[in-house]
C-alpha cells in the first residue's frame, strides 16, 4: 500500500485544480452556453416544397380531382370528397366490383373497411386520385373511371385484393335456404 505524505497530497490537489482550470479554459473557445448563451441556432437548408397537387383547373378536360376518401356505402359505392363540389359524392367504378358495407357478409364488410383505409392512406401519403369518364347514375351516384397517380385504380384494387373484376359474382355465397 502506498502512503502519501502531506506534501504529496497538496501537489496532487494543485495538479487537479490546474487540470480543471485548463479544461475550463479550453471550453471558452468552443461555442457553448458559457460564451454565447443566446446564440441563434444554425438553420438547416430549406427542403424543396412538395409538388403542387393536381387541381380542377389543371386536370384534363372532364376530369375531377378527389380530395378525400370518406368511406364506402352498403350499395358498394365510394364516398368521396371532390375538389369541384362541397357535398360528398358517391362513386361506382366502371371497371370493377367494389365491396360494400354489407349486413349479411362479414367478409365484404371487412374488405370495404380495408379499401377505405388503404385509399385514405394513399391519399394521405400524397397520391393523386382523379376521376374521368363520369356519367350520372341516379341523383347522388357517379359512374367513373379512377386513376391513382396515373394508374387505373380498378385493376390496382383487384391486385390488392380489395375489388373483384367486373361481373365476377358475389363476395360471399348466397345464404342457404
pLDDT of 173 reads 78
pLDDT of 156 reads 95
pLDDT of 135 reads 78
DSSP E strands in the chain: the ranges are 64-72, 78-82, 89-93, 96-97, 129-136, 141-148, 151-152, 164-165
Q: How many CB atoms lie within 10 A of CB 165?
A: 12
pLDDT of 147 reads 94
pLDDT of 35 reads 45
Residue 63 near residue 131, CB atoms below 8 Å: yes
Average pLDDT per consecutive 10 residues, the chain (177 residues; last block may be shorter): 56 67 53 45 44 40 84 90 81 91 88 94 93 80 91 94 87 75
pLDDT of 89 reads 87
Q: Show Cβ contacts of residue 164 under 8 Å, excluding neighbours closer than 6 positions.
A: 96, 97, 158, 171
Domain made up of 64-163: CATH architecture: Beta Barrel (2.40)
Residue that has been written with the C-alpha cell 341516379 in this structure:
138
User: What is the phi-psi region of residue 174: left when phi exceeds 0, alpha when psi lies from -120 to 50, beta otherwise?
Assistant: beta
Cross-strand bridge partners of residue 165: 96
Q: Show Cβ contacts of residue 172 under 8 Å, excluding neighbours closer than 6 positions.
A: 102, 104, 105, 106, 107, 108
Domain residues of the chain, as ranges? 64-163
Amino acid at each position: 500500500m502506498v502512503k502519501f505524505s502531506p506534501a504529496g497530497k497538496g501537489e496532487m490537489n494543485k495538479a487537479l485544480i490546474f487540470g480543471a482550470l485548463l479544461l475550463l479554459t479550453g471550453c471558452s473557445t468552443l461555442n457553448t452556453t458559457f460564451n454565447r448563451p443566446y446564440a441563434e441556432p444554425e438553420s438547416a437548408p430549406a427542403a424543396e416544397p412538395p409538388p403542387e397537387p393536381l387541381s380542377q383547373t389543371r386536370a384534363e378536360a372532364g376530369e375531377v380531382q378527389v380530395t378525400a376518401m370518406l368511406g364506402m356505402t352498403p350499395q358498394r359505392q365510394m364516398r368521396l370528397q371532390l375538389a369541384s363540389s362541397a357535398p360528398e359524392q358517391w362513386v361506382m367504378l366502371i371497371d370493377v366490383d367494389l365491396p360494400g358495407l354489407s349486413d349479411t357478409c362479414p367478409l365484404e364488410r371487412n374488405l370495404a373497411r380495408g379499401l377505405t383505409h388503404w385509399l385514405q392512406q394513399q391519399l394521405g401519403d400524397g397520391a393523386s386520385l382523379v376521376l374521368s369518364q363520369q356519367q350520372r347514375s341516379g341523383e347522388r351516384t357517379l359512374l367513373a373511371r379512377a386513376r391513382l397517380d396515373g394508374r387505373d385504380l380498378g385493376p390496382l384494387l383487384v391486385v390488392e385484393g380489395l375489388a373483384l373484376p367486373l361481373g365476377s359474382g358475389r363476395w360471399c355465397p348466397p345464404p342457404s335456404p
